Structure 1
C-alpha cells in the first residue's frame, strides 16, 4: 500500500507540473510586445527590468551558453557576434570569446557595438547588467532555474529577435515531448535518483530546478528534492543514508572522462558503499547538454527516462520503504546552501 500511495502522490506531482507548464503558456502575459506608437520592442527580463529595443536585435553578445543555444534554435545564430569559452558549437568557432561569461570585460563588449547583450543577472559581486545599461547598451538579465523559465526565455528571445513563430514552435515541441515522456513512464515504478554536478565539493540538483523537474517527469524521485537550496552541497554520509537507486553524473565532456569519474567512484570511500555504484547504475550526462536550461530539456527528460528504466520493479518497491524525497527527515548533514554562485560556479553550468 505504501508503494501505491507513493506512486499516486508522485503521479499527482507530475500532472501538476505539466499543467503548470501548459497554463504558463496560455495565461502568462506576452513575453515581449511591440509598442506601435514608439516602434519599439518592450520586454521584461528575468530580473524584472524592462528592456526596450528600437528594432529586432541584429548584433547580439551572449555571455550565457544556455541562452546562446536558444538563439541558435531560433535561427538567430547569424546575429551572435561574441560567445563564451563554453560555446563549442562549430558554427560559433570563428567568433571572439568573452571568456567564462561570468565576469566579461564590459568595455570590450561595448566596443563590439552590440544592440543586445545577454548576461547573467547581477549579484552583489557582479554588476555587468548595470554597467552595460549605464553605457546605453540594451542588456537582458538571465536567471533561469525551472522548465517554465526555459520556455519563457525562448518566447522572450524570440520576440527580441523577431523570431516569434520559431519560438512558439520550439515551446510547443518541448511541451509535447515532456507530456509524451510522462505518459510513457506513468505505469512504471518510481526510481530514487541523485543528479551530481560536482564531486569536490559534492554538489547535487535540488528542488525547484529544471533538472529536478525533468527527473520527476521521467519517473524519478530526486533523493535531494527536499533540500532548502536549489543546488545544495551535501555530504557523502547523507548520500549513503538516502541511498539512491540510480546516480546520474553531469561531469566530463567525453566518454573517456566519464569512465574516469565512474572508476573513481567505484573505489572512493563512501561512494563504493552505495548500491547504485556497486550494481553499475551510474550514468553519465553530458554537462554541456543536461546541465544547461536550454531547448534540449525535452530530450534530456527522454534520456533520463531511459537511464531510470534499468531498475527492476522489485528493487523500486523495496526502496519505497526508505525515506522518500519530501518526507520529514533531518538534514543536519546538509550544507543547506547553494554552491559558489549557485550552480554557475561550476564549469560548464549552464
Structure 2
C-alpha cells in the first residue's frame, strides 16, 4: 500500500513546472558580457547594420523600435523610429521597456550605455571591423534572439560566398583603388577598414592601405602620386556625376584616362552587416571589368 498517495501527484506537478534555463550570454565587441534570461523579444536596434543583421538571423519580429537611419529590409519602415542614436537619452530607451538594446559603439553616447547597464538592461555594443567579425556578430545576435537553428544555414552560406570570391580572385592583376569618403575636405579610408579587406579579397588594393586609422584627410596630389586605376565613392547617379566632374581635371590619372571613376551602390559597402556579401560580389565584378581595359565607350589610352 502506498503510504504517500500524494507523492505521485506531487511528482507529476514537479515535472510540469517550468524549468528555468540558464541565461544566454555572449561577449560584445567591447568584450563586455551580455546576458538574456530568455530569447529577447523586446529589442531596440539602434544602428542600420545591426537592424540588417537582426533581420538576416530571423529576429526582426522581436524588434520594437529602430533608429532613424535603419531602412532595410523594407519591413523595418513599419517600426517606430526613435531618431539619431547619438542624441537619444536613456529615458527614451527605457520607455520602450526593452529586454535587449543593440548599439553601434561609434554612434552612441557612452553615458547612455553605462546608465542602461546600471539598471540591468542588457546592451550589446557592436563594432565589427572585418568580414569575419560580421559573421561572428550574426552568430552572437542569433544566440541572444534564440534563432540559431533558423539562421545557421544562412550564416554558413554567407561565409561560403565570401570564401568563393576570395578563391576566384587570387593571383589576378592587382587594381589600385582610391575610395573617396568625402570630397571637401578630401577624405579616404585606411587599411584597417573593411573596404580595404574587400578590395584585397577581390584582387584590388586600397592605395592608402598603408595608412593607420579608419578614415582620414588626404590631398589630391597624394592621390595622383599613387596612380589609382579606379576612383570610387558610395552613392547614387548624382554622386557619380559629381565625382566624375571633380576628378576630370586630372586627365593623367589612370582612373580618369580610362573612364573608371564611378559610384558604388549606396549603403551596402558602408554598413558592416550581411549585405557586405553583395558588396563583395559587386566589387569583384567591377574590378574584373577594370582589368579588361578602358570603360565601355572610352578609347584605349
TM-score by length of structure 2 reads: 0.83
Shift of 1:217: 0.8
- The alignment status of 1:140 with 2:119, answered yes or no, reads no
* Partner in structure 1 of residue 274 of structure 2: 295
Give, in whole Å, the separation in 2 of the partners of 1:113 and 1:234.
45
Shift of 1:38: 5.8
* Partner in structure 1 of residue 298 of structure 2: none
Give, in whole Å, the separation in 2 of the partners of 1:124 and 1:166.
30
Structure 2 SS opposite 1:118 = strand
* Partner in structure 1 of residue 222 of structure 2: 238
Shift of 1:242: 0.8
Give, in whole Å, the separation in 1 of the partners of 2:240 and 2:192.
30
Q: How does 1:1-350 map to 2 (within 5 A)?
A: 39-89=22-72, 90-121=74-105, 126-250=110-234, 252=235, 254-255=236-237, 257-267=238-248, 274-312=253-291
Going from structure 1 to structure 2, the CA distance change for 1:228 and 1:122 (only over 3 Å counts) comes to closer
Q: Is the 8 A contact 2:66 2:81 kept in 1?
A: yes
Q: Is the 8 A contact 1:203 1:231 kept in 2?
A: yes
Shift of 1:225: 0.7
Shift of 1:102: 2.6
Q: Is the 8 A contact 1:84 1:100 kept in 2?
A: yes
Going from structure 1 to structure 2, the CA distance change for 1:185 and 1:70 (only over 3 Å counts) comes to same
What do residues 325-350 of structure 1 show as CA deviations (whole Å, max 9, x unaligned)? Answer: xxxxxxxxxxxxxxxxxxxxxxxxxx
Going from structure 1 to structure 2, the CA distance change for 1:124 and 1:303 (only over 3 Å counts) comes to closer
Going from structure 1 to structure 2, the CA distance change for 1:44 and 1:64 (only over 3 Å counts) comes to same
Give, in whole Å, the separation in 1 of the partners of 2:167 and 2:126.
32
Give the number of equivalent residue pairs. Answer: 275
What do residues 239-273 of structure 1 show as CA deviations (whole Å, max 9, x unaligned)? Answer: 111111012211x3x33x23332343244x6x555
Shift of 1:41: 0.8
Structure 2 SS opposite 1:290 = coil
What do residues 131-178 of structure 1 show as CA deviations (whole Å, max 9, x unaligned)? Answer: 211232111111121112111101100100011124422331122112
Going from structure 1 to structure 2, the CA distance change for 1:263 and 1:311 (only over 3 Å counts) comes to closer
Unaligned runs of 5+ in 2: 1-18, 295-301
**Over aligned residues, Cα RMSD in angstroms?**
2.3
Give, in whole Å, the separation in 2 of the partners of 1:299 and 1:310.
17
Shift of 1:201: 2.4
Q: Is the 8 A contact 1:122 1:129 kept in 2?
A: no
Q: Is the 8 A contact 1:122 1:130 kept in 2?
A: no
Shift of 1:37: 7.6
Give, in whole Å, the separation in 1 of the partners of 2:225 and 2:201.
24
Give, in whole Å, the separation in 2 of the partners of 1:162 and 1:79.
10
